[in-house]
Amino acid sequence: MVKLLPCPFCGGEAYTWSDTVCEWRAECKQCGASSLPHTTECRAAGAWNCRYLSNEIRLEGDTLYFEGLGTFKMVKA
């Protein structure tokens, strides 16, 4: 089993799981946030453990800026 960082949204405990032979995800036990599907448990854990530094992300109004990745508009569901 791979060591997972706490949830970046709520700080809850995370775990990895697979619903098919080749599709793994990491998910928070508390809030349900999850990674995208990955081909291995290790890749799912790596994606979950990847964190942006606070100076790489900023929110201005309804626009979220990711340095090096682009700009995303936030949409209310």
Mean pLDDT of the chain: 79
What is the pLDDT confidence band of residue 16, given thresholds at 50, 70 and 90?
Answer: very high
What is the pLDDT confidence band of residue 20, given thresholds at 50, 70 and 90?
Answer: confident
Maximal C-alpha separation, the chain: 42
Confidence at residue 22, expressed as pLDDT on a 0 to 100 scale: 81
| Beta strands per DSSP E along the chain | 14-20, 23-28, 57-60, 63-66, 70-73
Higher pLDDT among residues 2 and 36, named by residue: 36
Q: Mean pLDDT throughout 23-52?
A: 89
Q: What is the distance between the alpha carbons of residues 10 and 31, in angstroms, rounded to a whole number?
A: 7
